[in-house]
Amino acid sequence: MDQMKHFVLVHGACHGAWCWYKIKPLLEAAGHRVTMLDMGGAGVNRKAIQEVESFEEYSEPLLKTMACLGPNEKVILVGHSFGGMSLALAMENFPHKISASVFITAFVPDTHHPPSYVLEQFLESLPREFWMDTEFGENREDGGSSSWFLFGPKCMANKIYQFSPTEDQALGSSLVRPAKLFIENLGKAEKFTEENYGSVKKVYVICGEDRTISKQLQKWMIQNSGKGIQNVMEIDEADHMAMFSKPLQVLQCLLQVAQSYT
């Protein structure tokens, strides 16, 4: 058996660690260690997203996990969708603790623009009809307000989970929680650096039938990252939730990464 690797899995907006329930046992059966995390205000994390004031606070569970790794321990980070942004923050802060970072139809910031840039491009690319029955809200805080959203069942079934089993659609609809994209906060944040974020090996997994982050936008982010992404894989018939619609193909991609990066 190949040497065991430690995978740390990070979910996307509105979702939680639960979305990796098919992938975790598959990786473990292949001999690897798996940590699934809930970001702030997500999954079973006790905070409400309305209480989470910054993107760093949202990503704190990942940053704490990275800080607790042994001095010679390295992990493979895997981020789905908005989880790519949390990966980038961990890469900036702990580049020497990461063997590789895998972006599964995920946001990949660059080192030339503020971190919010790829999210702004995404929102501009999204047709208004995408949101369907998604709920939107705003919470006012000292010095301003921040908006949150919650994917609705129709949006999930038609735009996010369209090729996923109906059981997973039902699971998702019952477990999603409100989310923020922290655009204003990320717009004021320092750019990610070539020395830290840029030095970590990156792999991108394109999901060919994604109606949320389109294939065109995924390819644009790969190009926009410059020479940052070393390896591009594609799962042709995956919707946005590749871990539900194509779990065995996601597994194969991750096992390939485990073999290729030490």
Active site residues: 81, 210, 240
First to last CA, the chain: 15
DSSP for 194-241?
TTTGGGS-EEEEEETT-SSS-HHHHHHHHHHTTT-EEEEEEETT--S-
Give the sheet arrangement for strand 6-10, strand by strand: 33-37, 6-10, 75-80, 98-104, 202-207, 229-235
Distance (Å, whole) CA 59 – CA 161: 25
Distance (Å, whole) CA 89 – CA 197: 8
